[in-house]
Amino acid sequence: MLEHQTYMRRCIELAQLAAGNVSPNPVVGAVIVYQDKIIGEGYHQQFGSHHAEVNAINEVLSRFTDAEKMLSESVMYVSLEPCAHFGKTPPCADLIIKYRIPKVVIGSADPFDQVNGKGFYKLKDVGVEVIQGVLEAECRFLNRRFFTRVQRQRPYIILKWAQTADGFFAPDDGTQKWISSPASKILTHKWRSEEDAVLVGKNTALIDNPRLNVREVKGRNPKRIVVDRHLNLPLNLHLFDQSQETIVFNATKTDLVGNIKYLELEDFDNLLPQLICYQLYLMDVQSIIIEGGAKTLELFITAGLWDEARIFSSAENWGNGIKSPILSGQLISEKKIGTDLLKILLNNKK
């Protein structure tokens, strides 16, 4: 079992390389082992491209002249159940069968209805030995965004904010004042590159005039989302510069202006966060970071609609200002980022 865990951890490492590039698909890593040595590795690199199992098999085929014989005597490790249906690519289970790989070790099942259990059964039906559930909790956490979208029909929701050591979120006079360190800013941009969208409320858009891009790192810009009920925000803000896709949830109109999508919501007074989440689910948005302001964060917290919170605390004390949200959850990480302390919480009440 320890040997299985070692190779599965490598699958997880490989899968993480695809963060931000395969949504709404899951991230998956695969390893092929022959006579206790890794002879092929792969991960799902881009949405619509080859899956992890295909890339691992292709690496073996490209490296060895007797590749097919080696594959027929190998073990494949894969972090998620191999697909058994035709989508943008053929079924990975069929490819495993084609090359007569006799044993497959799998991290977790795939909850997607067209796969769920079918990959296991297809392999077992032809005599492939299948071992399930190796590092299952880690593999499920790896794909927590995908699992949330499939099983809860909404995006995976990450709350993010910075606060002072004495618990203040922003000045109470409507001005902008930076709290977190430059290192925390760079990390925030990295996070944006890994998620599908980032959302702010109207006041944050007006006071901070954020770009909500990833200019501090190399990566994909997320969709920008702002909640502006009466469309009062001035169009000279960075959010409306047409540089990336931007969604404006409002109570006035549905329209498309270049890269700006105006989406009218029927009821701003009831179930607003639920309506936003459902619209984003319909748009294949698998994950979202909510960066403020305080009222917008509280809206999702009150509704219980959050999965993870990432909170920077600086060493500064302000003495007054807008109080930070109060949140209870499972602390899974605590570390220094520059001069800040970063805490990551999971919602264990959802």
Catalytic residues: 53
Tokens matching residue 222: 């997320």
Tokens matching residue 119: 């990959």
Beta strands 37-43; 29-34: pairing state: antiparallel
Cβ atoms of 325 and 336 within 8 Å: the answer is: no
Which amino acid is located at 271 in the chain? L
Q: Residue for token digits 């999508």? A: 261
Tokens matching residue 321: 């200002």
Beta strands 308-313; 223-227: pairing state: unpaired
Q: What region does 133 belong to: left with phi over 0, alpha with psi -120 to 50, or beta?
A: left
Pick the closest to residue 74 from 125, 36, 28, 44 (CA basis).
36
Pick the closest to residue 141 from 93, 186, 108 (CA basis).
108
The CA–CA distances, whole Å, from 264 to 105, 199, 277, 303 equal 47, 16, 14, 21
Q: CA 93, 94, 99: angle at the middle one, nearest 5?
A: 100
Cβ atoms of 240 and 232 within 8 Å: the answer is: no
Burial (CB < 10 A; 0-12, 13-18, 19+), residue 282, is exposed
Residue 257: in which H helix or E strand, if any?
A: strand 255-257
Query: Which 3 state secondary structure label does DSSP give 335?
Result: strand
Neighbours of 267 (CB within 10 A): 9
Cβ atoms of 222 and 289 within 8 Å: the answer is: yes
